[in-house]
Structure 1
Amino acid sequence: MEPMINEMFQSMYETYQESLRIIAMHYKIPRDDIDDIVQETFISYYEHYPVNMSNRKSMLTTILIRKCLDYWRKYRPESISMDSEEGKIEVGNLLHLVSKDIADTVVDKEKYKRLYDCIMEMRDDWKEVILYCCLLDYTSSEAGKILGISGTACRSRLMKERLELKKRLGPDYKDY
């Protein structure tokens, strides 16, 4: 059992380590320290979570962000007055670090790709309803007129599509 877990962990490392390095660079971690932080992220994940967890990329990203913030807390311990010019710059940097960042964007793109793949596997007439109702923001009646079906049929297809997506995406469906 242990060799299989090690292989899974090695595969996970190879899959996600480059993305985590990019996120660490975004947090302005010095290049010499990026590998250490990425390694610590994987070690922390390995110690606390199962290797086959479904949302492992999200969890790795969260751990990495916390490690990056800890890094800056550790190496910037001096206090700075918020009224000083340097203090204003530091507050701006902190706001930049806690706002929507590249890590969230990576996770969002991963979710979008998974949702897109599920939609592309559906029947063509269902894809059209999703296009008009969800992406182009038409009402069911308007989309039905364009597609040559009734508004009721359009709503029915949309409901079936949502159920199908819920089945395919499983417990992660609510995140989409």
Structure 2
Amino acid sequence: MHSNPNKKLYGDFNEHSLGVNTFHLAKKLIDKVIPVSEEDSLVAMLRFQEVEHSTVDTVGAMGLAAILAGQLPELRGKRVVVVVSSANMEPDLMRQCVDRALVLDDRVSKFSVQLGEWPGDMAKLLDVLSREDVRLLDVCHRRHSDKSDVFKAKVECVVETRDKTQSAQLRKTLNERYPSICWLDR
């Protein structure tokens, strides 16, 4: 775990001591200690939900996080058991963690594009997004946002994709169709 953990995500995990006797017994069984970033823990939580259909908090996800982050290369290609032991997390915080993990995993994209003010222009954009099979999280349509071109509207969208491959395909499709597209930082 990193040196300054988020108390909201890790609770009292960092403050509790195992005790001197437990530490001396356990240290004989420990081969190495690995730092795990908050970002890696969040992505591991997401993988537990998607692959194992399990709800695991950030503390429980740390073992998988170390593996997914490539911090244990000696395990590559081997069958591995990860011990998952964690406390409960509030549902709202769990949802926030998953939302953040989707961004960290490059599965949430935000872009803006200039559209004409003609009937059907917005519907065409939404149709492209529908055909790409992405989940539309947010859309903002601003008319008259730029005095230099009063017959255009600026549309900002936030979308979620299944994986990085679909994200790349979406970018390719939209870049080809909309030369004015601007990909925004998350």
The question of a shared fold, defined as TM-score above 0.5 by the shorter chain, is answered with no
Q: Which structure exhibits the higher relative contact order, with contacts defined as CA atoms closer than 8 Å and separated by 6 or more residues?
A: 2
Greater share of strand residues, 1 or 2?
A: 2
TM-score for both structures, normalised by structure 1: 0.29
